[in-house]
Amino acid sequence: MRKTVILILIFLLITSIIFQFNNINTEATNNIDIEQIEREKRNWEFVNHDAFATNYSPQNQINVDNVHMLELKWTFPFPPASEFLRYQEGGIAFEGAITPPLIVDGEVFVASNMRNVYSFEANSGDMNWINIYEHNWDKAKQELPEVAGGAPHIHGLQYINGNLFTSTLNCAVDAIDSKSGEISFSIQEICKNVDGNYYSWPMYEGIGKYGSPSHPGPIYEDENILVVAITGATAAWGGGRAFIDGYDLNANPPERLWRRFLAPPGEGDPEWALRECDKGWFFSYPEWKESGRMGIPCNEVPRENLINDWGVPKHYTSSVAAIWGQMALDQETGIVYFGTGNQGGWPNQTHVTGPNLYSSATMAVDVKSGEIIWWYQQVARDMVEGDTSWNTVLTELNINGEKRKAIIKYSVTGLLWALDAATGEPLWIYESPILKSRIDSDGVTRGRTSGHPCIGCDPRTQDGYWNDVMSHYDMQEKKWLNYPSKDWFYWIPARAGEADIALNTDLERIYVPVAGGVDKAVKADKYGTLGVRPGQDYYIDTLSKNVTLYSLDANTGEEVWSHFIDGVAYRGGVMTSGGVVFLPVADGNLYMFNAETGEIIDKMFLGNSLVVLPTIGYTKEGEARLFVISGGRGAYAIGGITQQNVPGAIYSFGLPEGYIQEEVVEEKIEVIEQEVESQIKEEINERDNQIEQEDYTIYYLVGIVVLIILTLIIRRR
């Protein structure tokens, strides 16, 4: 009996040793690694999810069948902005956040309107770090006189190669290490000594000013080039000459490779609009309604309509406003696509002639050289605020049986365009029914109207809103929207398309919110010195505020379904994932729709206004979470909640603990299969190459021999 016990112990010892050898470097196979879950499912790395700005996450753990079960997992109230004024001497307390949260490998990143960047654990909400933004406003203006100041808010972060990219208030870009919260590198004084940024007028002589810069653009991976946009028209009407740059990140510090100006120099350029004319298109609303033409090639426009674009000399109140929407980058071609802000000299454009290229336009630019590939101007000679700044979506559409890369672009006008990504040729245009001007059977004009008295009531032209590039009067003689009247005119609705759109690439559906009832009265006024706006405007309560969510066929632009929400208008963005469309609304409700049918699945009320795009991603444990931001600087104009300036919070929602569904199990099985397949391939390669790899069979043989010898010895005794 004693001998048998000894034999068993020896056998177990040898077996244990053998398995210890055999299990070297195999522990990872026993657990699910979040990094093995498809990156596009687990992460939200850009403002609008991915490099194509789709606002679509293909995760399916939170889905149409269980989204009504979401429960609050954690929340983080943002500290009052006043607590950070000691870090921003001479600054403004700007509450809350309007940046969509990023989720990267189980960590959440968000920037507040005071430009502080936070990192949280997605699962628990525990803070990893905070990068507090420090800025002395008065000192900054002395060191860099081009800086005009302005509101400190920021529209978005993006994550690339371990860094969070953010802009600052002194014409700079920071790269923040996502693990430590420390600055990895900065590109400073981007707007210093800009060519052509000088004005000489009786009421002002000096440099143009730059306000809050756009958030950084994408990186072209093949050559490690970062795109940066600096624009000049803000609430201060500072006139800084707008441009985009390409920076070589392989250099230390990064070096500027090229600069592409978006407006002419201060002294003016009589042929500015002619220099890239062979590459561009203009949209003309009356032409579209009359003939169906969706774009007029620039070379068909009479030369006299295009000369002296922006005026010669250019006026100091005029420039291209901020590019705050996410750019899209095609890594295959090295082309970056983006939409530009409005012409900043409105509403009095006495000194601002021509179509004002490249304001209120969509552009394609070669990242390697800065060369313009094509442009399409949605609003020629914009006289209100018809910017095209929100997300620029790059996708592939089926057009007449042919697959074509395309750009989907929304505009504050409320119209949506599909453009050929190679040429800029318009493929289709969508105008929602609520914007179509019409005179109904009761004699009442409805839809988009503008002007006083009632210019824009003509359904054919909406001439109180759109200027026609084919009209010499509109391009060269007209001075403001209702010229020669000096009375107020009406902008109805104002900023109907104040939102990021979403594209579900699997369903081939686009989701577009169109706001109504946010109306303005506008009046042209006299010019003043730099920073003095040549006009006035205020919000008017003429119609009930509302928002309509539309679902469109991405290939045709045809409406599939719509849902009308009364009593509140809209600002922010729409997101889709798991067969659900998430629509945050300013009355504090987050609506959840069935992406295919438009049926309301559920809604949740968060108390404060919701004007920020929600996002979705995974915790390190592999659980999907929905992230929502509430509060901040609300505005009575968008309805639902009275004007507010509250810090607000970030919320994390997830499915109930222990909730199991087939999709989760299948996803984990898929991950395990991928890991096993990957390891088998690695083992085969290692054995084939015989690189630092031992055959563990020898250990088994040695163990068996030792066991036999010991057995014989014990038996002889």
% pLDDT > 70, the chain:
81
Take residue 583 and report the two structure tokens written for it: 């629509």
CA 98 to CA 633: how far, in whole Å? 9
Six token digits for residue 270: 């009589």
Residue 11 above 50 pLDDT? Answer: no
Q: Give the 3-state secondary structure of residue 481.
A: coil
Q: CA 298 → CA 286, 349, 420, distances in Å?
A: 16, 22, 16
pLDDT at 681: 58
pLDDT score recorded for residue 456: 47
- What would the pLDDT profile of 443-461 be if each residue is shown by its tens digit? 766 777 655 455 445 555 5
Render pLDDT for 209-248 as a digit per residue (tens, 0 to 9). Answer: 987 667 778 999 999 999 998 877 654 568 899 999 999 9
pLDDT top residue among 391 and 152: 391
DSSP conformation class of 383 = S
The per-residue pLDDT for 501 is 98
**pLDDT, tens digit, for every residue of 682-704?**
555 555 554 444 444 555 455 55
pLDDT at 703: 54
Residue with tokens 């561009």: 280
Residue 144 has pLDDT above 60, yes or no: yes
Summarize pLDDT for 552-605 with one digit per residue, the tens: 999 999 999 999 999 887 888 999 999 999 999 988 999 999 999 999 999 999
Confidence band, pLDDT 50/70/90 cuts, at residue 462 = low
For residue 534, which phi and psi values (nearest 5 degrees)? -85, 55
The answer to whether residues 447 and 439 touch, using CB atoms and an 8 Å cutoff, is no
Q: Most confidently modeled of 57-61, 152-156, 490-494, 587-591?
A: 57-61
- The pTM of this model reads 0.87
Distance in angstroms (rounded) separating the CA atoms of residues 40 and 137: 39
Structure tokens at 130: 């905070």
> What distance in Å separates the CA atoms of residue 345 and residue 238, rounded to the nearest whole number?
9
pLDDT in tens, 82-99: 899 999 988 888 888 889
Residue ranges with strand state E in 252-344: 255-261, 280-282, 296-297, 328-330, 335-339
Q: Tell me, what's the pLDDT at 276?
A: 98
Determine the 3-state secondary structure of 499 from DSSP.
strand
Least confident span in 225-229, 383-387, 505-509, 662-666 = 662-666
Q: Higher confidence at residue 651 or residue 318? A: 651
pLDDT at 157: 93
Question: Would you state the pLDDT for residue 29?
Answer: 29
334 class by beta-carbon count within 10 Å (0-12 exposed, 13-18 middle, 19+ buried)? middle
CA distance 298 to 375: 10
User: What local confidence, expressed as pLDDT, does residue 570 receive?
Assistant: 84
> In angstroms, rounded to a whole number, what is the distance separating the alpha carbons of residues 10 and 4?
10
CA atoms lying within 13 Å on the CB side of residue 110: 29
CA atoms within 13 A on the CB side of 155: 22
Strand partners, 165: 158, 175
Distance CA 394, CA 422 (A): 11
Q: Supply 369's token pair.
A: 């050289």
- Is the per-residue pLDDT at 368 higher than 80? yes
Q: Which of 64-73, 147-156, 583-592 has the lowest mean pLDDT?
A: 147-156
CA atoms within 13 A on the CB side of 705: 6
Domain 34-672: CATH superfamily is Quinoprotein alcohol dehydrogenase-like superfamily (2.140.10.10)
Whether 393 has a pLDDT exceeding 90, the answer reads: yes
The two tokens of residue 252 are 């230390």
% the chain with pLDDT above 90: 58
Mean pLDDT of 104-128: 96
| pLDDT score at 326 | 95
391-401 exposure pattern, b = at least 16 Cβ within 10 A, e = fewer? bbbbbebeeee
| Residue carrying structure tokens 């057995």 | 711
Given a contact cutoff of 8 angstroms between Cβ atoms, the answer to whether 326 and 53 are in contact is yes
Q: Quick check: 111 pLDDT over 90?
A: yes
pLDDT digits (tens, 9 = 90+) for 597-650: 999 999 999 988 898 999 999 999 999 999 999 987 765 556 555 556 788 899
How far apart CA 271 and CA 307 sit, in angstroms, is 6
Under 8 Å between Cβ of 220 and 211: no
Burial of 708 per CB tally in 10 Å (0-12, 13-18, 19+):
exposed
Q: What is the DSSP string of 210-249?
A: B-SPPPP--EETTTTEEEEEE--BSTT--B---EEEEEET
Q: What is the pLDDT of residue 379?
A: 95
**pLDDT at position 686:** 55
- SS3 labels along 103-137: EECCEEEEECCCCCEEEEECCCCCEEEEECCCCCH
pLDDT of amino acid 693: 44
- Sorted by where each begins, the domain ranges of the chain are 34-672
> Two tokens at 314?
């250019």
164: left (phi over 0), alpha (psi -120 to 50) or beta: beta
* Average of per-residue pLDDT values in the chain: 85
Q: Identify whether the C-beta of residue 245 lies closer than 8 Å to the C-beta of residue 256.
A: yes
